[in-house]
Amino acid sequence: MTAAGDTRQRILESARDLIYSQSYADAGVAAICERAGVRKGSFYHFFPSKRELTLAVLDDFRTDLETELWGRAFAPDAPVLERFERFVEILYRQQKAVAEEAGRLLGCPFGNLGVELATRDEVIRQKVDGIFRDLEAYFREALEVSAAADELKQVDTAATAEAMLAFLEGILLMAKTRNDPEIIRRLGPAVGDILILAEDS
């Protein structure tokens, strides 16, 4: 334990900020250490490699977003359609706030790392994939509530959840490429249009 004992946490936060606002490749270990006020040796005392650090960063993002975004949006105190609207609204506000602070819209930390590293690092690819699957589960469970109420259509809730997540990831990709948060507000509500029926319906 350090006197302060927060060295690992400072490295993690520094890495979060730098990797998210730049990219995996652009965020060097030296820069991460400098921002954290830590020597490189300490860094490698807590993390065996930059890749392991990145996996920890992904876990950290997941934990935060699960409480601040997914959990909040999908709290069962609102009708299902409203939950998705809430998700989009929180997403918009959060991306806008981050964009104002960082000067640029940064998009989805999972999507960013997935796109950058999926072809180059199998471990990180699987990590991002797992996070996506977890998020999909939130979507799917909400859809199942809705599908049970509306018995006429045989909704493929898994596929629809997948498609909704894809749509939102695509919106964040476009918003980042256009550096414009309003895209989220303009396109986001259409997430409710998406519906994939089961084969044997």
Q: How far is the CB of 176 from its own copies (least distance, A)?
A: 5
Is residue 87 within 8 Å of 75, Cβ to Cβ? no
87 binds its own copies (CB under 8 A): no
Q: Please, which residue, 42 or 94, has the CB nearer to DNA?
A: 42
Please classify residue 23 by burial: count the beta carbons closer than 10 Å to its beta carbon, then call 0-12 exposed, 13-18 middle and 19+ buried: middle
Site string for its own copies, 151-180 (x = CB under 8 A): --------xx-xx-xxxxxxx-xx-xxxx-
| 128 forms part of the interface with its own copies (CB under 8 A) | yes
CA distance 19 to 21: 6
> In the complex, which residues of this chain contact DNA (CB under 7 A)?
1-5, 7, 25, 27-31, 38-46, 48-51
Write phi, then psi, for 149 (nearest 5 degrees): -70, -35
Is residue 31 a contact residue for its own copies (CB under 8 A)?
no
Q: In terms of CB distance, is 35 or 50 closer to DNA?
A: 50
Q: What is the DSSP string of 80-132?
A: HHHHHHHHHHHHHHHHHHHHHHHSS----HHHHHHHHHTTT-HHHHHHHHHHH
Task: Summarize as ranges the residues that interact with its own copies (CB under 8 A).
Answer: 21-26, 102, 104, 106-107, 111-112, 114-120, 125, 128-129, 132, 159-160, 162-163, 165-171, 173-174, 176-179, 183, 186-187, 189-190, 193-196
